[in-house]
Amino acid sequence: MKHATMVIDGKPVAGAATREAVNPYSGQVWARIPDASADEVDRAVESAQRAFRETWRRTPGVERARLMLALADALEAEADSMARMESTDNGKIIRETRPQMTFAARNLRFFAGYADKLYGRTIPLDNPSLFDYTRRRPYGVAALITAWNSPIGLLANKLPPALATGNTVVVKPSEHASVTTCELARLACEVGFPPGVVNVITGGPQAGEALISHPGVSKISFTGGSATGTRIAEAAARRLVPVTLELGGKSPNIIFDDADLDRAIVGAVSGIFAAAGQTCVAGSRLLVQRPVYDEVVAAIAERAAGIRLGDPLDPATEMGPVANEPQYQRILGLIEAARGDGATLVAGGGPATGFGAGLFVAPTVFADVAPDMRVATEEVFGPVLSIIPFDDEDDAVRIANGIDYGLAAAVWSRNIDRVHRVVEQLEVGAVWVNTYRSTAAQAPFGGIKRSGYGRERGEDALAEYTYTQNVMIDYSGAARDPFVIRT
C-alpha cells in the first residue's frame, strides 16, 4: 500500500482525511492519498505567496535554471519507478508512461534555458527625452490543475514555464491519479527548491474549489473537461484572474484518397487507441474520402480487433484499461447511444472480457457515422472511433469544423497543395500532416472554441505566466505643466 503525501512549504503533509486510489487493472486499492481540507489549501497558497515575495521572484534566472535542470535529472533517474506508479494509478500502458517521464524532463530542460533570457524591449517614442522599456514579470502564485489521464505529462506543460518565469505554484492533480505528482514534488524538495516554491495538494472537488477561489492565487492553468473549464473560467472572472484552459477535443483525422494508406491507417489506429482513447487530442473522428472509404474501414476494423489488451505494466500490452469506473460507464453509454443512432458497428462494441475486475473496453469502431450523431459530436474519451465518409475538400472541411471543439486535427495526403488549402481552413489549434500525436517541447499547443484558450509548451507558454510591465523615464530635467499629458 502506497501512502502518498502532499507537499506544503517544503514538508510532507499526510492530511487528516484520505481517499483510496484504485488500480483500474486489478480493481484493488493500491494507494491512499490525502483529501486536502480548506485549511490545508490555505496553508499551501500562503506558503507559495511567502516564497514568491521573499525568495523566488528575487532568485536569479540562472539559479532557477540550475534547480530545474536538477529536477529534470532526478525525474529521469526515477523514470522507471514513476512510470510504474502512473500506470498502476491510471491504467495507461508503461510503453507510454515511461517516455512521458523523459519528455517531462525534456520540458524542464527546455524552459530552464529561458529562465535567464526573459528579455524586455526598448521602445522608441515620439518625444526623444522619454526613455521607454518593458519587463516581463511573473504573476505570483499559479494554481496548476491537471487531469487523470497523464498527470506528469500534463504537469510538464505547466510547471516548467511557471517556474522559469519566477512564479511559485500550488499543484492540484486529479483525485483519480495523484501519486506521481506527489512524488515529483518530493523530488523538487530533494534537489533544493526553496520551501513553498512547489506545493502539491490532493483531494476532490472541494479542494479544487478552495484553490481556484483563493484570493492569494494570481494565475490558473487547468487541463480537463470543457464543463469544468467553464466553471473555472467563471470563478476566475469574478476575481479577474488570468486563466489558461486546455480542454476537450473531438479531433478530425482526415484521410484523402491520395494518401499513403498504410501510413494513414497506422496513424488512425494510434490516434484513437493509444492511451485507450483517453487523450484530449484523440483522433476520434476519422474522415475518409469515399473512393478509399471501404478499404480504410476494413483495415481499421481488422487492426482494432487485433490490439493486444492486458496488464499495463507488461511492455507487450498495446492498450490498458480505462482509468476509473465513472469514465468506464460513460464510454459504454456512448457506445450504446451510437448503436441506437444507427451507426454501423464493425469492431468491439462493449466491455472486453477475460480481465477480471479490470475496466477494459474493447477497441470499438463505428462506420457510416453521421456528423451529427452523439458519438461524433461528444468527447467520448475512450477507445471508440467514428468513421465518417466525405466527398471532397470542401465537404471534409465542413465536417471537420462543424463541432464546438477546436483542439487538433490531421491531414493525410501526398498533395502538398491540397494540404495547405485544407490546413488553412481548419479551425483548430494544432494540425498534424501525415503523422498523429507527435509532440515536441518547442511546439506550442492549445485549442480554440470549447477546447479552451492559451498555449502550453514552446516559447508561447512563457507569455501565459508573465505580464508586461512598461517603464517610462523622463530624462529631460525640465519642469512641465502638471495639467497637460506629455507625449
Mean pLDDT of 151-171: 98
> Is the separation of the CB atoms in 38 and 234 below 8 Å?
no
Residue-wise pLDDT tens digits, 69-88: 999 999 999 999 999 999 99
Residue-wise pLDDT tens digits, 204-259: 999 999 999 999 999 999 999 999 999 999 999 999 999 999 999 999 999 999 99
Fold of 252-433: Aldehyde Dehydrogenase; Chain A, domain 2 (3.40.309)
- Residues with Cβ within 8 Å of residue 417, at least 6 apart in sequence: none
Residue-wise pLDDT tens digits, 258-286: 999 999 999 999 999 999 999 999 999 99
Answer yes or no: is pLDDT of 288 > 90: yes
Answer yes or no: is pLDDT of 479 > 90: no
Mean pLDDT of 436-441: 95
Closest of 475, 452, 367 to residue 406, by C-alpha: 452
User: How far is residue 369's CA from residue 51's CA, in Å, rounded to a whole number?
Assistant: 54
Q: Which residue has the cell 486563466?
A: 243
The pLDDT of residue 137 is: 98
Distances (CA, A) of 327 to 48, 64, 149, 320, 332: 33, 39, 11, 14, 9
Cell of 287: 474522415
Q: Which residue has the cell 489488451?
A: 309
Closest of 170, 254, 249, 257 to residue 208, by C-alpha: 170
- CB-based burial label for 353 (10 Å; 0-12, 13-18, 19+): exposed
Mean pLDDT of 32-42: 97
Q: Where are the domains of the chain?
A: 2-247+451-471, 252-433
Answer yes or no: is pLDDT of 360 > 90: yes
The pLDDT of residue 482 is: 80
Band of pLDDT at residue 484, cut at 50, 70 and 90: confident
Among candidate residues 40, 46, 175, 280, the one labeled active-site is: 280
Instruction: Please tell me the CATH code under which domain 2-247+451-471 is placed.
Output: 3.40.605.10
The pLDDT of residue 466 is: 98
Q: Which helix (DSSP H) or strand (DSSP E) does residue 288 occupy?
A: strand 285-289
User: How far is residue 365's CA from residue 348's CA, in Å, rounded to a whole number?
Assistant: 7
- Convert the chain into a string of H (helix), E (strand) and C (coil): CEECCEEECCEEECCCCEEEEECCCCCCEEEEEECCCHHHHHHHHHHHHHHHHHCHHHCCHHHHHHHHHHHHHHHHHCHHHHHHHHHHHHCCCHHHHHHHHHHHHHHHHHHHCCCCCCCCCEECCCCCCEEEEEEEEECCEEEEECCCCCHHHHHHHHHHHHHHCCCEEEEECCCCCCHHHHHHHHHHHHCCCCCCCEEECCCCHHHHHHHHCCCCCCEEEEECCHHHHHHHHHHHHHHCCCEEEECCCCCEEEECCCCCHHHHHHHHHHHHHHHHHCCCCCCCEEEEEHHHHHHHHHHHHHHHHCCCECCCCCCCCCECCCCCHHHHHHHHHHHHHHHHHCCEEEECCCECCCCCCCCCECCEEEECCCCCCHHHHCCCCCCEEEEEEECCHHHHHHHHHCCCEECEEEEECCCHHHHHHHHHHCCCCEEEECCCCCCCCCCCECCEECCEECCECCCHHHHHCEEEEEEEEECCCCCCCCCCCCC
The pLDDT of residue 487 is: 76
The pLDDT of residue 481 is: 82
Question: Among residues of the chain, what percentage have pLDDT more than 70?
Answer: 100
Closest of 301, 293, 302 to residue 389, by C-alpha: 293
Band of pLDDT at residue 325, cut at 50, 70 and 90: very high
Average predicted confidence (pLDDT) for the chain: 97
Mean pLDDT of 411-426: 98
Residue-wise pLDDT tens digits, 86-116: 999 999 999 999 999 999 999 999 999 999 9
Residue-wise pLDDT tens digits, 375-412: 999 999 999 999 999 999 999 999 999 999 999 999 99
* Terminal-residue alpha carbon distance, the chain: 68
- What 3-state DSSP class applies to 267? helix
Q: Which residue has the cell 468491439?
A: 348
Answer yes or no: is pLDDT of 37 > 90: yes
Band of pLDDT at residue 349, cut at 50, 70 and 90: very high
Q: For residue 280, indicate whether it is catalytic.
A: yes
> Is the separation of the CB atoms in 281 and 457 below 8 Å?
no
User: How far is residue 205's CA from residue 247's CA, in Å, rounded to a whole number?
Assistant: 17
The pLDDT of residue 483 is: 81
Provide the CA 107 distance to its chain's centre, in angstroms: 13
Q: Where are the beta strands (DSSP E) in 391-465?
A: 405-406, 408-412, 430-433, 448-449, 452-453
Answer yes or no: is pLDDT of 486 > 80: no
Answer yes or no: is pLDDT of 436 > 80: yes
> Is the separation of the CB atoms in 429 and 408 below 8 Å?
yes
Band of pLDDT at residue 413, cut at 50, 70 and 90: very high
Angle (nearest 5°) at CA 228 between 227 and 229: 90
Q: For residue 46, indicate whether it is catalytic.
A: no
Do 2-247+451-471 and 252-433 share a fold?
A: no
